[in-house]
Amino acid sequence: MSDMIEQVRHELMTHSDKTTQESGQRFFKEEIRLYGVKTMMVSKIAKQTFKTIEKLSKKEIFDLCEQLWVSGIMEESFIACNWAFAIHKQYTEDDFLLFERWVNDYVTNWASCDTLCNHTIGTFLERYPFYIEKMKDWTQSQNRWVRRASAVSLIIPAKKGMFKEEIFEIADRLLLDPDDLVQKGYGWMLKSLCTKYEDDVYEYVLSKRDVMPRTALRYAIEKMPEARKREAMISKKKRAGVS
């Protein structure tokens, strides 16, 4: 199986370029390691290489994903996420502990966090909805990426109208989180819920607008009509006529 990892790394190195590598760093506050391969090409490589491992057992595929995560290189984490999601029909409840460990041990930037959570963990939650309780626990983590994961894992389910009450509870728990990337994460979660429940999200935002960080609020209302956006952005002081 190590040959497969080497093949992936060879493909990534072949398609890397310094300009993409340098421009990619600008999207992150933290230092990241990357080859400098465009996202579309990474996805193409993931699909092509998966064809050579798709007949392996789930454990063998997850072991390969683990090797990619361990490297700490962003494009390799994307490949791992793609491979893990490709076998989502094989997920069982036991897999949650592995996914949770990946978030805790290997996620070090928002891109890897979102790629893993949006699809792999989000799909797991749709299949095993009881684990939404774990997302509530994640909101209290000392790890900023775990807290962000508690929200962004619900992006796809939220668009489908799932977990409405739980999403508001998670937003409550993250409401005053000082980390801007966590704020953006739960704001994005609320924005996604607007697809099915715009009125509910609007009322929630109005009830929290005096304490909700502006970063989260702007994300939450991004897709709303302009009139609702303006109303949501009016603070308590402005409503009272205080300058």
- Would the pLDDT of 242 be above 90? no
Q: How many domains does the chain have?
A: 2
pLDDT greater than 70 at residue 14: yes
pLDDT digits (tens, 9 = 90+) for 79-90: 999 999 999 999
- Pair 162, 220 in one domain: yes
Same-domain pairing of 37 and 133: no
Q: Please identify, among 90, 111, 137, the residue that sits at the C-terminal boundary of a domain.
A: 90
In whole angstroms, what is the distance from residue 36 CA to residue 28 CA? 14
Mean pLDDT over each residue of the chain, to the nearest integer: 94
Shortest CA distance to 90 belongs to which of 112, 57, 118?
A: 57
Residue 170: per-residue pLDDT:
98
Q: Does 130 lie in the same domain as 68? A: no
* 140 SS3 class: coil
Q: Do 83 and 97 lie in a common domain?
A: no
Q: For residue 23, what pLDDT band results from cuts at 50, 70 and 90?
A: confident
- For residue range 163-213, what is the model confidence (pLDDT) as tens digits? 999 999 999 999 999 999 999 999 999 999 999 999 999 999 999 999 999
* pLDDT for position 243: 41
Backbone angles phi, psi at 73, to 5 degrees: -95, 130
Kindly report which listed range (11-20, 38-47, 60-69) carries the lowest average pLDDT score. Answer: 11-20
Q: Is the dihedral of CA 142, 139, 98, 52 positive or negative?
A: negative
Average pLDDT over residues 119-137: 98
Name residue 127's amino acid: R
Residues 107 and 29 occupy one common structural domain: no
In this structure, the answer to whether residues 1 and 36 fall within a common structural domain is: yes
Length, in residues, of the chain: 243
Which CATH number do you get for residue 176? 1.25.10.90
Domain that holds residue 14: 1-90
Mean pLDDT of 230-243: 66
Last residue of a domain, one of 59, 90, 121: 90
Do residues 91 and 124 lie in contact, with contact meaning Cβ atoms separated by under 8 Å? yes
Q: Is 213 exposed, middle or buried (0-12, 13-18, 19+ CB in 10 A)?
A: buried
80: tokens are 């791992």
- Identify which of 190, 122, 209 has the alpha carbon closest to the alpha carbon of residue 157: 122
Are 62 and 169 contained in the same domain?
no
- Measure CA of the first residue to CA of the last residue in the chain; give whole Å: 65
56, 90, 124 - which closes a domain: 90
Q: Are 102 and 149 in contact (CB under 8 A)?
A: no
